[in-house]
Amino acid sequence: MGTIEANGKTYETDEEGYLADLNSWDKDVADVMAKIDDCDLTDSHWEVINFLREYYEEYQIAPAVRVLTKAIGKKLGKDKGNSKYLYELFPYGPAKQACKYAGLPKPTGCV
């Protein structure tokens, strides 16, 4: 367990830096998590993060990267639905890294 400070609030995380409580998430903590990884969140990042939050809301799981890639392609266009685009945004792995900033648990099947 650890904690992250953002904008005067404290957020609990698990040992890998994922938020302990999905409901404690807000945009401030996402920005701080990204800064820790030397990443500045742009609109393109937010598109993916928001997509993941909607996916989780609907299905109660974080999608596998293959499923994420396909679904992004369908929702945001073919130019974005490929691993090259997603890995450029999230070099530590789109599913793992983007899910972390979105406040979701680590995707099922990720080790």
Would you tell me which residues interact with another protein (CB under 8 A)?
A: 58-61, 63-64, 66-67, 70-71, 74, 108-109
User: 57: which residues sit within 8 A by CB, 6+ positions away?
Assistant: none
Token pair for 65:
């990267």
Find the shortest distance in angstroms from Cβ 71 to another protein.
6
6 or 70: whose CB is closer to another protein?
70
41 or 64: whose CB is closer to another protein?
64
Find the shortest distance in angstroms from Cβ 67 to another protein.
5
HSE-CB of 11 using CA atoms within 13 angstroms: 27
Q: What are the backbone angles phi and psi of residue 2, rounded to the nearest 5°?
A: -145, -175
Residue 110: active-site member? yes
- Residue for token pair 């998590």: 33
Torsion of CA 75, 81, 95, 51, to 10 degrees: -20
Find the shortest distance in angstroms from Cβ 104 to another protein.
13
Write down the catalytic residue from 17, 78, 91, 110: 110
7 or 108: whose CB is closer to another protein?
108
Active site residues: 110
